[in-house]
Amino acid sequence: MTKGGSSVLLIYTGGTIGMKEDERGMLTPFDFDGLIESVPELSKFTCRIDHYTFSPLIDSSDVEPGLWIRLAEIIRDRYDEYDGFVILHGTDTMAYSASALSFMLENLSKPVIFTGSQLPVGRPRTDGKENLISSVEIAVAKNPDGSAVVPEVCIFFNSQLLRGNRSTKADATSFNAFRSPNYPPLATAGIDIRYNRKMIAPATGKPLIIHTELDTRVSILEVHPGITPQVVRNILLGPETRAVIIETYGSGNAISKDWFIQIVREASAMGKILLNVTQCLAGTVNMDLYATGCALRDAGVVSGGDMTTEAALAKLFFLMGSTKGNAQVKSLLDKNIRGGITQ
Ligand code: ASP
Looking at ligand 1, which atom is closest to the CA of residue 93?
4
- Is the CB of residue 112 less than 8 Å from the CB of residue 78? no
Task: Name the DSSP class of 253.
Answer: B
Q: Is 29 in the pocket of ligand 1 (CB under 6 A)?
A: no
> What is the pTM (predicted TM-score) of this model?
0.96
Residues in the chain: 343
Instruction: Give the residue whose CA is nearest to atom 8 of ligand 1.
Output: 91
Residue 65 has pLDDT above 50, yes or no: yes
- Is the CB of residue 32 less than 8 Å from the CB of residue 51? yes
Q: What local confidence, expressed as pLDDT, does residue 125 receive?
A: 95
Name the helix (H) or strand (E) containing 104: helix 94-104
Q: What local confidence, expressed as pLDDT, does residue 4 receive?
A: 56
Tell me the C-alpha distance between 132 and 136, whole Å.
6
Tell me the C-alpha distance between 132 and 113, whole Å.
10
Looking at ligand 1, which atom is closest to the CA of residue 94?
4
Instruction: Give the residue whose CA is nearest to atom 1 of ligand 1.
Output: 59
Residues 28-64 have pLDDT tens digits of 877 788 778 889 998 899 999 999 999 999 999 999 9
Task: Name the DSSP class of 142.
Answer: B
Tell me the C-alpha distance between 90 and 83, whole Å.
23
91 φ, ψ to 5°? -80, -25
Give the dihedral of Cα atoms 204, 181, 17, 143; nearest 10 deg. -30
Looking at ligand 1, which atom is closest to the CA of residue 58?
9
Percent of the chain at pLDDT > 70 equals 99
Q: Is 116 in the pocket of ligand 1 (CB under 6 A)?
A: yes
The one catalytic residue in 13, 16, 115, 241 is 16
Ligand 1 centre distance from Cα of residue 91 (Å): 5
Ligand 1 centre distance from Cα of residue 178 (Å): 13
* Nearest CA among 339, 221, 341, 329 for reference residue 284: 341
* Nearest CA among 285, 201, 294, 209 for reference residue 248: 285
Q: Is 61 in the pocket of ligand 1 (CB under 6 A)?
A: yes
Q: Is 16 in the pocket of ligand 1 (CB under 6 A)?
A: yes
What SS3 class is residue 202? coil
* Nearest CA among 13, 2, 20, 162 for reference residue 90: 13
Residue from 16, 20, 63 whose mutation best tests the ligand 1 pocket (most atoms within 8 A of CB): 16
CB atoms within 10 A of CB 180: 23
Whether the ω angle into residue 184 lies within 30 degrees of 0, i.e. cis, is no
Q: How far apart are the first and last CA of the chain?
A: 35
Instruction: Give the residue whose CA is nearest to atom 3 of ligand 1.
Output: 90
* Nearest CA among 46, 50, 45, 48 for reference residue 4: 46
Question: What sign results for the dihedral spanned by CA atoms 274, 280, 286, 288?
Answer: negative
Q: Is 276 in the pocket of ligand 1 (CB under 6 A)?
A: no
Question: What sign results for the dihedral spanned by CA atoms 64, 122, 113, 283?
Answer: negative
Percent of the chain at pLDDT > 90 equals 87
Known catalytic membership, residue 248: no
Residues 259-309 have pLDDT tens digits of 999 999 999 999 999 999 999 999 999 998 888 889 999 999 999 999 999
- Is the CB of residue 14 less than 8 Å from the CB of residue 57? yes
Tell me the C-alpha distance between 249 and 126, whole Å.
37
Query: Where does residue 176 rank: exposed (0-12), middle (13-18), buried (19+ CB within 10 A)?
Result: middle
Residues 126-166 have pLDDT tens digits of 999 999 999 999 999 999 999 999 999 999 999 999 999 99
Looking at ligand 1, which atom is closest to the CA of residue 116?
7
Q: Is 13 in the pocket of ligand 1 (CB under 6 A)?
A: no
Ligand 1 centre distance from Cα of residue 65 (Å): 17
Q: Is 131 in the pocket of ligand 1 (CB under 6 A)?
A: no
Beta bridge partners of 30: none
Max CA-CA distance within the chain? Answer: 66
